[in-house]
Amino acid sequence: MPLKIYNTLKKDFEVFEPLSPKKVNMYVCGITPYDQPHLGHARAYITFDVVRRYLEYSGYKVQYVQNITDVDDKIIKRAAEKGVSIKEISEKYSNVYFDMMNKLNVLPADLYPKATEHIREMINTIEKLVKGGYAYEVNGDVYFAVKKFKGYGKLSGRTEKAMMAGARVSVDGRKKDPLDFALWKASKEGEPSWDSPWGKGRPGWHIECSSMSAKYLGATFDIHGGGLDLVFPHHENEIAQSEAATGKPFAKYWIHNGFVTINKEKMSKSLGNFFTIKEILDKFNPQVVRLFLLSTHYRSPVNYSDADIKAIENKFMTLQEGIDLISAYISSGVQPKGKNDYSTEIKKLKEDFIAAMDSDFNTAEAIAVKFNLIALAHDLIKSKSDPKNLVAIKKEIQELGSVLGFDLKESSIPPEISDLAEKRIKAKKEKDFAKADDIRKSIQDAGYLLRDTPYGSIITGIK
């Protein structure tokens, strides 16, 4: 079956047909680097990492652009508090973000354009909008005239009243309409600024994405992504200013990931239920965090609690133990019995994985297929199947796991745990079973599973 994507713009599922055969241009709204990245960032960028990985697995060449908003009210405020430049703040937290993404095995985007390095492009876009009658200047500020763009609201589907509330519009007598939004902001004392036809100032938030996506991906591109919170006003405004400036459709498919909740409440700094990625990675393996976030469909909300992620940690341990058992079986030199060709069953499970991903990137069902492969492996090991079947299963688990961003290989056991395992084997040979049990407990207390099998003792860990 063809890949189907839920398109926020059309409010429906659509067969994915890129603008150019076998090539996909994708733009995802990036970070504003003024603080530690949080769990919501992890959810968004893992989601679009999987979208990118699956498209590449399906044979597409993907050009992935993710912007960095390195000039913003929050960055300016943080820089003033610290007595440093906005560049120092943005570079510090951009590096933190890249480090966290690397730990979570998120592939780097092809380009990370910065807002401060594309001021000229933004000014050019704003000039087109002013010339076309879609924008107006007031005392050095430039606003987009929302009522001039007939399609405003088509992405969010909101009424004018709902858009006013969603935009948290403040009274500003200089605007022609309360919904009009800033394209350019006149400079204020102590803030960074650039020369423009309207005087010194800096760009508004929305204009950067329109200008940078057009520069690197063209006026119209395939996929625009981001969190559900960006649908309005950010993405709605992007569509309006982009299509008004170019006269062409902006993005063909709009993909939005759902919210993260904490103990059933929306994650929010104001509620004090805010978790940074670092805080979570201090407690859990990055692969476990990734499995946790992908075990829920990307469009649905995902609830975080230590109990929820602990349950996922146990599932990942089951998956890892299966890999370790398969590897031990392959290496054992076992003589096969019974039916020895399971290629049809293995192929069917691979097709199930592809069908799940073709259904709007349903990672929850795709992950279930990996566990079905592990279950088949256990059955074949019990029946002493030909090891070549287990080689094939292991290959599929690792290959399909890689599509989801998992690095599934044999457990890496530290020397001190391996030494304990050797001492346990020695104690068992000497029939000192009490000592062997004590050593087993020490291994388990250190966070590792130990399983005795006909193919040797297997130690599994995800440290």
Q: Is pTM beyond 0.85 here?
A: yes
pLDDT above 90 (res 158): no
Q: Are strands 135-138 and 201-203 parallel, antiparallel or unpaired?
A: unpaired
Question: Considering the chain, what is the average pLDDT of its residues?
Answer: 94
Residue-wise pLDDT tens digits, 179-203: 999 999 999 998 999 999 999 999 9
Q: Would you call 27 helix, strand, or coil by DSSP?
A: strand
Rounded Cα distance, 228 and 299, in Å: 8
Residue-wise pLDDT tens digits, 258-290: 999 987 777 766 676 779 999 999 999 999 999
Burial of 271 (0-12, 13-18, 19+ CB in 10 A): exposed
CB 198 within 8 A of CB 140: yes
Confidence at residue 313, expressed as pLDDT on a 0 to 100 scale = 96
Confidence at residue 329, expressed as pLDDT on a 0 to 100 scale = 95
Confidence at residue 335, expressed as pLDDT on a 0 to 100 scale = 87
User: Domain-by-domain residue ranges, the chain?
Assistant: 4-134+146-167+204-257, 310-403, 415-447
Confidence at residue 99, expressed as pLDDT on a 0 to 100 scale = 98
pLDDT above 90 (res 164): no
pLDDT above 60 (res 94): yes
- Structure-model confidence comparison of residues 217 and 175, the more confident one: 217
Say which amino acid occupies 264.
K
Tell me, yes or no, if the two domains 4-134+146-167+204-257 and 310-403 fold the same way: no
What is the pLDDT confidence band of residue 55, given thresholds at 50, 70 and 90?
very high
Calculate mean pLDDT across residues 3-14: 98
Instruction: Report the percent of the chain where pLDDT is more than 90.
Output: 86
pLDDT above 80 (res 37): yes
Angle at 222 between CA 248 and CA 399, to 5 degrees: 175
Confidence at residue 170, expressed as pLDDT on a 0 to 100 scale = 56
Calculate mean pLDDT across residues 142-167: 87
**H helical segments located in 167-295:** 205-217, 236-246, 277-281, 286-294
Residue-wise pLDDT tens digits, 216-254: 999 999 999 999 999 999 999 999 999 999 999 999 999
Strand order in the sheet with 61-66: 61-66, 23-28, 221-227, 251-257
Residue-wise pLDDT tens digits, 312-334: 999 999 999 999 999 999 999 88
Rounded Cα distance, 153 and 149, in Å: 10
Confidence at residue 96, expressed as pLDDT on a 0 to 100 scale = 98
Q: Report the top-level CATH class of 310-403.
A: mainly alpha
Confidence at residue 262, expressed as pLDDT on a 0 to 100 scale = 86
Rounded Cα distance, 217 and 104, in Å: 27
Residue-wise pLDDT tens digits, 64-81: 999 999 999 999 999 999
A 10 A CB-CB count for 227 gives 21
What is the pLDDT confidence band of residue 337, given thresholds at 50, 70 and 90?
confident
pLDDT above 80 (res 463): no
Confidence at residue 200, expressed as pLDDT on a 0 to 100 scale = 97
Sign of CA dihedral 366, 368, 373, 374: positive
CATH of 4-134+146-167+204-257, one of 3.40.50.1980, 3.20.20.150, 3.30.70.3040, 3.40.50.620: 3.40.50.620
Range list of β-strands (E), 129-218: 135-138, 141-144, 181-186, 201-203
